[in-house]
Structures are given as structure tokens and as C-alpha cells.
Amino acid sequence: MEIALVGIGKIAVDQHVPAIAASDEWSLAATVSRQGAVEGVTGYTNFDQMLAERPDIRVVSLCVPPGPRFDYAVAALRAGRHVMLEKPPGATLAECYQLEALARENRVALFATWHSREAAGVAQAKEWLIGKRLRRLSVTWREDVHRWHPGQAWIWEPAGMGVFDPGINALSIVTEILPDPIHLTSADLDIPSNCQTPIGARLNFYHPHGAEVTADFDWRQTGDQIWTIDVETDQGTLSLLNGGATVVIDGQQIDMAGTNTLSGEYPRLYRRMAELVRQGGVDVDLSPMIHVTDALALGRRTVVDPFFD
């Protein structure tokens, strides 16, 4: 299947282009980008022109930032194209619901991707949790913003989400593996005095069986970088380490070799997109974004030291 990739920035070059190249289901037929390009692939700067000139390209993958993404998605869906969205699926929740409705109206596939859900250990953690009684789940997502997001001024602007940009990845895993729904009860947000979004956030969630569910997101971590989810149940403990890539059950690291027929988060996303296109399916789970929006809306804000890139 031919696909067009829109927004040739870091995430497209690092993840999307190699995943498409390695796939035997997909062929990169065009790119749309103001500055970026992929060697050997027809490049457009105008999205509407690409849609008009290339009716043969039935699928569009959007890697532009959440701000402008809505207009691209609407144009593609109205033009009858199947659409794949980088995370988060939009800047506002309201627009995401509109995209979902528009996809159903136009009978095309729409996939709001959460790449961390495809990390090697997530499926196994989800399966392990079935039938166990949760006592505690704690997320620790602590990284150095200077190292991972240099020069990205937009993360500090209102729609940029701040530390929830990585934090939403953790919440996409939590909402995938937990059998029961949770909701925010309180949040504390640390906002640098010269920014609009948090550099640190501590979240508490309600769990229907009374388990203690918390998340600690921080961008001020120096030294070891931590992307861990620790789970305690009535029948043992499980930890997801390295953003979901590694599983430790009752202290024993599990060998993940051979558990997935396809290796890598993005290759698995593109395989799922191929399934959705064949079925005309809509896969839009907004729960990670609902929790982040609830936390940004309801969090108690404390002003902290200014941030300098």
C-alpha cells in the first residue's frame, strides 16, 4: 500500500521512515513538508496539492505537531483518505472527537497511535495483570529535558504539554495494561516562572478497588534516566523498565526474545494501520489524553525556577 508521510521532522526521520522502509506492506510514495525531505521520494510542500494530484495514495500518516494537525487530518478524511496520527492525536479533546466522527462519516480508517503501547513488554504486562488484585501502581518517568528536548520551545507553550509530552506515553501504557478504569483525584504541577507548561507533575488516581495509583513525571532528572512502572498485586509484583521494553516479574527479568513476531514500536504501529485500512477500522482511544487534560485542568500549580534551554 502506498502511503504519504506529512511533517518530516525528527520523529519522522528517526522512526516513521525506517519503519515504512522495513515493511513489506507499505511503500513511501510521497512526503509533505516545508523543509524536510526523504531521498528518492517525491516531496510536496502543499498538502492539498498532494491530495489532488495523487488520488492513488489512499493512506496518510501525520507527524506534524498537534497544533496544525487537525486541519491536515480534516482535509485528508474529507478527501476519503485513511489517516494515522502521531501522539497526541490533537491539541484539544474536542477536536479528537470531531476527527473520530468525521472518519466514521467518510467510512475511512483512523488510527490514533500510542507508540509506547507497542513497547516489547506491554502486552505481557497486560496479560499478567488479568485475574490479579491490584494493590499499588506507581509510574516514575524522570528524564533530563536538556538531553531529550533541546531547542524545542513549543513544549513550553500552552499546547506543548510540558513534562506530559513524555508522561502521556506512560499513561498510554497504564491505561492499556490496567483492567479497570482510573481517574485523577489530584495533581501537583511545577511550572517554571517563564513557562506555561509543567516541568514536573505528581498525580494521584482513584482506582475502583482502592489500589494506590500514582505517577511522578519529572524533566529535571540528571544522571540515570528512569522510565519505570511498578505494579504490586495480591499475587506478586511486576515492573516495566526502560519505557516498557523490559519486564521483571517477582524480581526475575523475562526474556522477551521471540515474544513478538515484529520488532520495534513503529513497525508494529504500521502493521496495525495496515489491518485497520483493510477493515476500514477506527482505533481512537483518548484515555491517555483525557488523563493529561484532566491533570492540566485540575492540577494545583506552583511556580518554580525559570527554565533556560
**Contacts to its own copies by CB under 8 A:** 70, 91-95, 97-98, 101, 158-159, 181-184, 186-187, 196, 206, 287, 290-294, 296-301
Residue 157: CB minimum distance to its own copies, A = 8
Looking at the Cβ atoms of 10 and 183, the one nearer to its own copies is 183
CB of 231 or CB of 292, closer to its own copies:
292
Q: Print burial letters for 59-97: b (CB count within 10 Å at least 16), e (below 16).
A: bbbbbbbbeebbebbebbbebebbbbbbbbbbbebebbe
Other residues' Cβ atoms within 10 Å of the Cβ of residue 181: 11
| Whether the Cβ atoms of residue 87 and residue 112 lie closer than 8 Å to each other | yes
Query: With respect to its own copies, which residue has the nearer C-beta, 59 or 173?
Result: 173
We find the least distance from the C-beta atom of residue 300 to its own copies, in angstroms, to be 5
Residue whose CB is less far from its own copies, 8 or 161: 161
**Grid coordinates of 74:** 480534516
Distance in Å, CB of 31 to its own copies, minimum? 26
Q: Which residues are catalytic?
A: 87
Are 28 and 63 a contacting pair, CB within 8 Å? no
The beta strands (E) that lie in the chain are given as 2-6, 27-32, 42-44, 59-62, 82-85, 110-112, 134-142, 183-192, 200-206, 212-218, 226-233, 236-241, 246-249, 252-253, 282-283, 300-304
At its nearest, how many Å lie between its own copies and the CB of residue 137? Answer: 15
